[in-house]
Structure 1
Amino acid sequence: MAAFIRKLFKNRKAQPAPEPKPQAPIAEARDRQDELKSEQDSILKGQPTLAQLEQLSIDGVTADIRQRAASTIDDRDTLNRVQKASKGKDKGVYQLVRNKLQEIKQAEAALSQTRERIQALIRQAEEQARSEDTNLYEARFEALLKQWEQIEAQASAEQASAFLNACSGCRERIQTFAAAAAEQQRHANQSQQRASTIELLEATLDDLKDSAAHALPSLSAVDALQKTQEIRWLEATRDTQVQKSEQKQYETAMQALKAFLVAARRFSTATASLQALLDQVSDNTLAEPQLTEAKTLLGDIAWPPGFAVPEQLRQLNTLIKTPAARPDKPLDDEQQKQNARAFSDTLDQLEQALEARQLKESRQLFKKAQQLQKALNKANARSHQARLQLLGGQLRELNDWQGFATGPKQLALCEQMEYLADQPMDPEAKAERIKELQNEWRELGGSSDRTLWDRFKKASDAAYEPCKAYFAAKSGLKQTNLDKRSTICDELETFLNNTDLSRSDWKAIDQILRTARAEWKAAWPVEFRDNRTVQKRFDALLKRLESPLNAEREKNEQLKQAIVERAQALKELEPLAEAMNQAKALQGEWQAIGITRHREDRKLWRAFRQACDAVFDRREAERSAHQQETEAADQRLRDALAQTSRLTDQSVTGDALAQALEELNKLSQQPASRPMSDQLAAERSRLKALQALQVQADRIASWHQYIDACLDNSAMPTLPEAWNRRSQALAELSARELVVRAEILSEIPSPEHDQALRMEIQVQRLSDGLGGGNTGGNSRDQLESLVAHWCIGLDQSDRAADMAERLKLALNASIS
């Protein structure tokens, strides 16, 4: 035991006690404490260093000085050292430093979150700059900008530059999208303009066709409309794609309008001549010369069909169709005259065609004239023979001229065909090009040069020769594909005949159906005529396979519809947890249901998803409401803690502490966050500790009165009843032993002359503790027992003034 005691105390220095001053030890100690307090207070009011603040936080004279010094420290390492040094010694400083460290951690966490958010926004901006998703692109970009505005001040220059670069890319994409949209809008506007043009032209034509014959519209107005719509069409077709049907519709309407304008102008010019012919009508007939002139006028005007015919033209048409009264002559002579007129008219048309240098029409009219000449008698034929020969010579000259003009083009076609024959090309593209060259040859009217034609024909045959093998092979491929389709039908029929569909896996059957369709489509091309029978067989087999599949799909769709209705009923179900559990269970049921039609399944899934989202949105709404309540409770707690933090052991009263604790107890019932709840609990513990210290200080103040009363031998206040028992337990202690024990319990030094006694008492206490003996309760109870023994157990002669002062100093030291 002795060795253990020496080991325990070998490194402990004995603290020399100040020289006793029997005259005034208490006043001197108080003066020294006041000087230290004044000195430390002046350091705090100045500009203390971090080391001074750390020292004052640990060794400050009063709790107020220690807390003020600790509250000024912001360095994390220093705070950790202060917290370690004050743990178990100074609860107020320890709690204050702990709160500050927690605030620093929260600030660092918030800073880390801000940095992560900055990086996330930069990453989102860069991804959006590369994104091809145009849906709400500009709105998403604006949302990014708004989020960046909130944290832009915390971003570094490099981060701001990276975000701005990504934003620049986003703005370029927006401009690109805007340009594409503008271009699309331009095409849409042009399409609208084209549709309006066609609609206006057709409406105008309808009005012209429905107008009365005697009320023709203003030609200048129609001409202006035709020109403006022609310009409008040109603008509406510039740099855009026009469908062939739309172009054809416009051209048909515009050509009809132009034909009407030409005919109307000619009619206006010939109005006087038409009226003069009508004035020469006698007995509803016209003489032969006038009849011929009327036909010529009507032919020149060429009134387009479908439009209202002017009255003058209508009357002339009626007169021309009405046969004139003729003297009775032999039918043969009359027929000869009609043939002669037709022959003469044909020659006139032939002459006009030759003047217009229309080779194809001239050839047709010359053949017609030759046929009509054969129907004439010799006299009539001889009278027109010279003219026919003359026109025939003109036709030959035109043919020679045309041959001279088309010769180089035909020669070029021969060269192109010969070049095409030597080129390795796709057979179908080559065959298409051969057709195009042959069509161009025909459009030139053929060739009178037999050698040139033979050259073109030979080149065409040589060019088409490789295509023959391809189309022959393609014909074989068609037969192979036809055989494949027949095999598909055989396999489907075998499957249907040998399978009970009602007991089969519907997903597997659906996959078989999809595979059959895919393989059928892949077996292409086939000969259309040969494929008819196989196609009908395939369609019939598909119908047999699809009928039970469709029934299964409809059954499953009804099951999913029932799930949708059950999910929609959960929107208002309470409690929410039950609704969420049922929604999750319905999702499992949904997955277990078999095949459905894709389009119907999408509709049902959309409705089901909306119903489930409504249920889970309620949870989010409750979370949001709870979050708001928590934030409001946290704010109320911050405000309350800011008020209670001003309550210290130097300034607070018992009533203020009780009121603050009551307020904090009320706030503890609110849904605050975990960190704020921890702060609340720490603050309540601090205030309770202050309350306990105040109670202890009040008790010690009353003990001072008892000690002073016993020392002065004045009227003794009423002592607690339990003190007799406490005093009896310490009956053997002297006044000096009593005071030294009080100093040991309060951890203050004893005078030099009492060090040996103090050591002896400490060894005895240690021995009692190791041996399991009674130590007399906690330090406060032991101090109360010592005071009780001072007041009751000691003789008046043992109660010295210096001992009383030492006892009171020990009691005071026990408060802090």
Structure 2
Amino acid sequence: MLKNLFRRKPSVDDPNPAVRKEVVERSKDLSRDKFAEIARTDTDVETRKSALARVNSVDLYAEFLDHDQLGNFCRTKIAEKVDEQHHLASDLRILPLRLSKRADPQQVLVDLNKIESSADQARVLVGLPLRALRLDVTNLIHSERTLVEIEKSSRAKDKNLNRLVRDKLQDLKTLEGSRDELLERAERAINAAQNINATDAHYEAQRTAIEQEWESCLQDVRSLNQQLTTYQRELIALEPLEQRFPARLSTEQADSAQRPQFDAILKRLKESTLSESTIEECEKSWLNALKIEPAPKAIADQFYQLANAKRRELKKIKDQDSERAEIAKLVSPMKFQEPDARTRSWHYVWRLQSDAKTRLREVQQCQRKLQARSTNDETVEFLKKLEEAENHLTNNILDRISQLRQDIVVQIESNFVSLHKFLEGGELQRAQSAERNIAAMIQRLPRPAQGKYKAQLAPISAEIKQLFGWQQFAESPKRQVLCEEVEELVENPLAPQEQFNRIRDLRESWNQLGPPRSRADRDFQTRYEEAAAAAFKVCEAWFQKLAEVRAKNLEERTSICESLESFLDEYDWDHADWKAVNKTLRTAQSEWRKLIPIDKRYAKKINTRFRQVTGELESRLEANWTERAAEKQALIDEVKAALADENSSVGDLIDSVKAAQERWRNIGSAGNQREQPLWEEFRNCCNEAFDLRTTQREQRRSEINENIEQGEKIVADLESKVFTEDATLTELDMSLVNQIRNQLTQLDLPQRVQGRLNEKLKDVAGELKRRVALLETQQTTTTLRDLLELDAQIARLEQKGEQVSDDVTSSIPGATNLFRIRSSDAANKSAITIHELVLRAEVLADVPSPAEDSGKRMQVQVARLQHGLTRGGESDEQRVEHLIQEWCKLAFGEQPLRERFQTAIRKHLDSLIA
């Protein structure tokens, strides 16, 4: 029978939750996103747990922290995975599980004390899973506030812990009572020692008895202080008590002590603390002294004035304390929890509204009282708190309640509109539902506001009641029709399944008519029931066949149990194929679930038998999985040790990891629950090793890419500077190319990139050289043009006979020396030279000369050619600059050849720029 159990491939969409769970636990094809989707949407809790375990993500676990069925599972998993630095480590839902792993209660207490709120401390402590740890930690806690919170939290959860806390609180209360009692004893002893008369014949005996009582009281105080220290409570100050106890008086001191010490009483009143008891004590001593003799008037006046002043100051302090307490009460927040659909009574809302209005009036009255005073820091702080309380009452309480009331009124009005619509459409059921909704909404309003809507609803309710009476009259034909239809099934029966479904549908229609309301309805009820019973007889044979199916399924289940028992007894467990064993077990379980229904009388027995045999198989599988898990864990530890070995190279690490992977494949499965976490851990270790290798490669690649980017950037920066149209000659320096070339050489670049950048740099260098030459030419031609203009200006001055100042010639560097040496005599003597300069300029600029100068021009051209052949060529800039300088030295005053010279020179300068 088990040979046919493997035909259907299980799927995550299978209707059987056990199949879905098995697919989730065993599948290797599903993605993490699919597992997360199953964890969020599947209807079976166990399947969702398996999906969560497969994802094994803290973020996914955190989504279900408060889930009713998955919360405990997810909180346990998070507690296992997070460390101290994780933000969920201090979450109150996770902290108890983490603290339960601590063996030392003192360390648990230290962690608890890091939580600020006593209520949160108590919640975490009560949530600790181990009872013994809870009790041990509680024994170390002595804070009354924390103990009170633990007592509240443990009432319905841990009776032993609650009893222990109540005992500790009782002990603490007893200590407080003992403290007050001892203080009263000490005061009585001090008063007794102060009140006895030293001249009394029994003074010594009385004094001895008082001292014995005093010593006993001090001993009890010391013992109590030790216990109060344990509970971190305020100790009884022994030294002030001992200082207040009067010393024993001698006979001489007794005589002097008999006289009233008014000065001492006044001094004691001055030096005493401001309290009602000390004032009354001093006044009592004063009255006792007055019984002996009158007090001096000056001392008496001081005493009464001081006592009255202290009482006024004390009253002022009490009034301030009372006012602070009143303000503290007024600014304490009022909590308001909005009612929901499940809230039946809304009376507390309107009571809270009334209380909030009263509180608001009191707050505003207190504000006016404080504003009428002179302001100080405390008053400003009180006004600020009262303003916050006023805003809280207005915005968070009164406005919200007013909005709730408005919403209720809107819903009532809307339901009234719907009610009229239903009545007009004849939808009585929906009209009745709307009527009930309106009645429920009216009950939510305050009582004074209910009357209006109740009066509006009353006639409509009467109309609905009347219409239901008419509806009852109209239902009789429907009951008649249903009786006839069920009788038709008796006369002309359908197939068993269809017959059963039809009877069920007719029953639903019958029930929708409601209970019978008259004798005729009850007759129809009887008629219908008899016909339905007769029609159901057709289905009895079908149910008989269903019983046969149950018997067959029981037989098949018995066969599965027998097969598994034989398998368990006869299998060679010393050489077991555990994968096949697991497959046989899971397949048998899957087939078992398909064999339904079975007879309930035998279900418990056969299910118990099946659980016993499968339990034995699962225990053997579990033992094997435990061994395999231990082997895989050892392999994981081995890989981790290799990762931690700093002396091994990355290559050796990769070889050891690959060997570990091969061994992992040969170990076998460790079971679905263990396998995935182990595999995740092992895979992470392997990935870490491979990531080291990848990181080395990527780091090298990243360095090269950074160098390439840097090289391209510095070349691009130079290129941008060179190709900028407004670049000046000082900004364009050929040394920039050498600097960039040196920087590229220092960078670690691929040879291909180095060559490409050098070629690009070569092009930039050529352009730089061209731009520098162009700028130098432009600069030179500009200077030469300025020199020509200066020559013309100076010639006009010379012609007029005016003196040429250095200020005129200093505008051009070197011009002063050129014009300083020329004179009229030199010009007359150099007429031929000047003429030759003009011809040389025309030859240089390729400008035609007059016909009469053609011979002379030819001589100049021949001389120029000979000069170029013998001495090497000069640049056009150098030649024209030399001609202009010679002209400026010789051409004094108005020269008839100046226009020809300047025309030729300017044309040549224009050609240089072009």
TM range (shorter): 0.3 to 0.5
Structure exhibiting the larger radius of gyration computed from Cα positions: 1
The TM-score with structure 1 as length reference comes to: 0.32
TM normalised by structure 2 equals 0.29
